[in-house]
Structure 1
Amino acid sequence: MSEANTEKWRSPGFIAGVIFLCAVLLALVFAGQTVMRWLQDEQKVPLKQVLVSGELTQLSAKEIDKAVRNDTAVSLFAIDVDDAHQAIESLPWVYQASIRKSWPDTLKVYVVEQVAVAHWNEDMLLNQYGGVFDAFWQGDELPSLYGPGGSELTVLQGLKAMQGLLNGSDLTITEVSLSERYAWHLKLSNDIQLRLGRTEFIDRLQRFIDVYPLLLKNEKAVAYVDLRYDTGLAVGWREKTPS
């Protein structure tokens, strides 16, 4: 290093400039930390509202607000969006949620609710996509579906196909069972049980629909119809109750 450069580094002006720059940097760091602490102080910048949108029938905005705040005061800046998102989507009736912060004091949440279309294996609910979720159902009666694990969508699609076939006959399916061997069994709203077997269950159901008007002409009520035959069917009759 030349003598001139050495003198420059040692000059009072240069040293004073370096000291001033360091002081400015330290002041900026201190100010940044102060602002951070101030923003995170829920007493100074509280989260005033959780604004919930979406069609809610089973959920309330209050439940979502509680999930976000977790019963504690919190500032908008201090909220971890990922944690809040996870807390909301862990609610039983939430299918999907999205979250964004709106400065200075609002958290905007959009919620898509689960839509229950059937009971599944007695203790769970099934949504329209064949997804299982655990929630308490209060509403109109839903069909009950049963099947081995992993068959949820198969059973739901079977219900839709078979109910569509029955719509013209004013019959409603109240229960669908799929056995471990994938044999279909139905229960109708008039308590008739249909044994459809493993294959060609749609064709077999159509066979029942074709013969159903004839069955109604019998004095006894139908208990079950076994359609597990290549042709024909077997009918079980209910005993007439004494008048």
Structure 2
Amino acid sequence: MTSETVPAKVEEPELKTEVKKAPIAVGLPVFIFVLFGLIYAGFWASSWLQDEQRLPVQEIVFSGNLKQLSAPELERIVRKDAKGSFFALDVNQVHQLMEEQPWVFSASIRKRWPSKLYIHIIEQTAVAKWNDDLLLNRYGDTFEGRIRYQTNTENVVDSLPQLYGPGGSEKTVLTGYTHMQRLLNGSGQQIKQLVLSERFAWQAKLGNNMVLKLGRQEYINRLQRYIDVYPLITKQEKPVKYVDLRYDTGLAVGWHESANVNQPRNNT
């Protein structure tokens, strides 16, 4: 018998691939260079976007029914006090600036790319003069205002009723005026002046300068009493100076001195 010898299996050594890493001495300077490049680019871009000469607000467009306000004047205020490029301009600052103007009731601001600023204005509506130095809007809020226009030959502010009252009573007086005037409309009479005293007593002066003394309580009922006897008063040839309605029933009429009557006359 012959014996066969099986050759032993010889394992080949594994080939290991070595990846050479860049030396830290080379990689770190490159990283720092790139980082500083990005920082510089960021600062340059920010400076470019905020440069008013390169990206100015070229046009400011106003909308709204402007009667007392002038769009060119408002634009001058914006460009003077809210400077900056299109991107840097703070719309909140412009909004605050607009609502600080006396005749502005509210304002809304928006930007439109690439260079326009839109400002919508709602003007105040003056319904009365208040204590000689302010105006009242329909909500009873006071504001300072100077009329810039005229309708026909009559100045709009001069035609407004004059209301007087203690500080903080603006809404109360305006409400009282509204109710009284609504009641007087049927007889074609207008309230020229309405006063609420420190003791909260009402007194109204009509367009014909007749004074109505209404007192503190039930002024609407007392005014209705005047309206009921108004046709009788108009029939009198004597000019009426005042009508005192501060009675539970009846009223007193005071005549002008030219009527040669020195004492009030009671009417029921």
TM-score normalised per structure 2: 0.81
Q: Secondary structure at the match of 1:75?
A: coil
1:184 Cα deviation from its structure 2 partner:
0.5
Contact 1:46 1:73 in 2 (8 A): no
Match of 2:4 in 1: none
Between the aligned partners of 1:155 and 1:197, the Cα distance in structure 2 is 14
Are 1:209 and 2:227 an aligned pair? yes
1:102 Cα deviation from its structure 2 partner:
1.6
Between the aligned partners of 2:85 and 2:211, the Cα distance in structure 1 is 59
Between the aligned partners of 2:25 and 2:66, the Cα distance in structure 1 is 66
Deviations 1:129-173 (A, max 9, x none): 100001113542100000001100110111111100001100000
1:232 Cα deviation from its structure 2 partner:
0.6
Q: Larger C-alpha radius of gyration, 1 or 2?
A: 2
Moved more, 225-234 or 106-115: 106-115
Match of 1:234 in 2: 252
Percent identity over the alignment is: 53
1:110 Cα deviation from its structure 2 partner:
1.3
1:239 Cα deviation from its structure 2 partner:
3.2
Query: Residues 76-225 of structure 1 correspond to what in structure 2 (within 5 A)?
Result: 76-138=86-148, 139-140=155-156, 141-225=159-243
Between the aligned partners of 2:254 and 2:146, the Cα distance in structure 1 is 36
Moved more, 10-19 or 103-112: 10-19
Q: Secondary structure at the match of 1:186?
A: strand
Determine which of 55, 61, 75 is the counterpart of 2:71. 61
Amino acid at match of 2:98: I
Calculate the aligned-residue CA RMSD, in Å.
Answer: 2.3
1:241 Cα deviation from its structure 2 partner:
7.4
Deviations 1:172-228 (A, max 9, x none): 001110001111010000111000001100000000000011011111011100000
Amino acid at match of 1:112: I
Amino acid at match of 2:123: E
Match of 1:4 in 2: none
Between the aligned partners of 2:26 and 2:177, the Cα distance in structure 1 is 83
Equivalent residue pairs, number: 235
1:78 Cα deviation from its structure 2 partner:
2.3
Between the aligned partners of 1:210 and 1:67, the Cα distance in structure 2 is 55
Contact 1:67 1:84 in 2 (8 A): no
Moved more, 205-214 or 41-50: 41-50
1:64 Cα deviation from its structure 2 partner:
1.8
1:53 Cα deviation from its structure 2 partner:
1.2
1:27 Cα deviation from its structure 2 partner:
2.1
Amino acid at match of 2:53: Q
Q: Secondary structure at the match of 1:12?
A: coil
Q: Secondary structure at the match of 1:185?
A: strand
Match of 1:23 in 2: 33
179 and 133 in structure 1: CA distance in 2 versus 1, 3 angstrom threshold = same
Contact 1:225 1:234 in 2 (8 A): yes
Between the aligned partners of 1:106 and 1:220, the Cα distance in structure 2 is 67
Determine which of 32, 40, 54 is the counterpart of 2:42. 32
Moved more, 156-165 or 74-83: 74-83
Amino acid at match of 1:78: A
